[in-house]
């Protein structure tokens, strides 16, 4: 008999939090608002299924965190490409749609000017 532990609601929430972080902090560094809106419509990084085991949820969280770390680095070196691709494949295995190649981010970073995006989190908020 094999015992497996089911994923917890807090893990599901953490995964959703990481996806929101990518949309608000990572994508605006590389893409314009129209492209990010299209990603939402295509359900990039949105999963329709729950993760059956604790291990599955942890693998998804780790993959997303690794992608965040790579894409937040100041320079996208070729040394990260293998790790990036491995994590993208793992996300696809878990039903998360992430249709990007490492080179797309390298090119986008090279061409992207700093601009304001509606997707970025506000630095301050007005409290009434």
pLDDT in tens, 70-127: 999 988 888 999 999 999 999 999 999 999 999 999 988 777 655 555 666 655 555 5
pLDDT at position 111: 75
pTM: predicted TM-score of the whole model, two decimal places: 0.81
pLDDT in tens, 36-64: 999 999 999 987 667 778 889 999 999 99
Name the average pLDDT for the chain: 85
pLDDT at position 9: 80
pLDDT at position 15: 92
Q: Which residue has the higher pLDDT, 3 or 35?
A: 35
Give the angle subtended at the CA of 120 by the CAs of 117 and 121, to the nearest 5°: 145
pLDDT at position 99: 94
pLDDT at position 110: 78
Indicate the burial class of 64 (C-beta count within 10 angstroms; 0-12, 13-18, 19 or more).
Answer: buried
| Spatial contact of 98 and 44, defined as CB atoms under 8 Å apart | yes
pLDDT at position 27: 94
């Amino acid at each position: 008999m094999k015992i497996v532990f089911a994923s917890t609601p807090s893990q599901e929430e953490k995964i959703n939090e990481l996806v929101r972080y990518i949309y608000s902090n990572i994508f605006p560094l590389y893409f314009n608002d129209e492209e990010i809106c299209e990603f939402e419509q295509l359900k990039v990084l949105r999963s329709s299924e729950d993760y059956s085991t604790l291990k599955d949820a942890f693998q998804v969280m780790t993959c997303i965190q690794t992608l965040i770390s790579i894409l937040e680095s100041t320079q996208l070196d070729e040394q990260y490409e293998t790790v990036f691709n491995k994590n993208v494949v793992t996300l696809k295995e878990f039903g998360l749609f992430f249709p990007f190649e490492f080179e797309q981010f390298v090119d986008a970073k090279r061409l992207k000017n700093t601009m304001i995006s509606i997707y970025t989190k506000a630095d301050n908020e007005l409290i009434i």
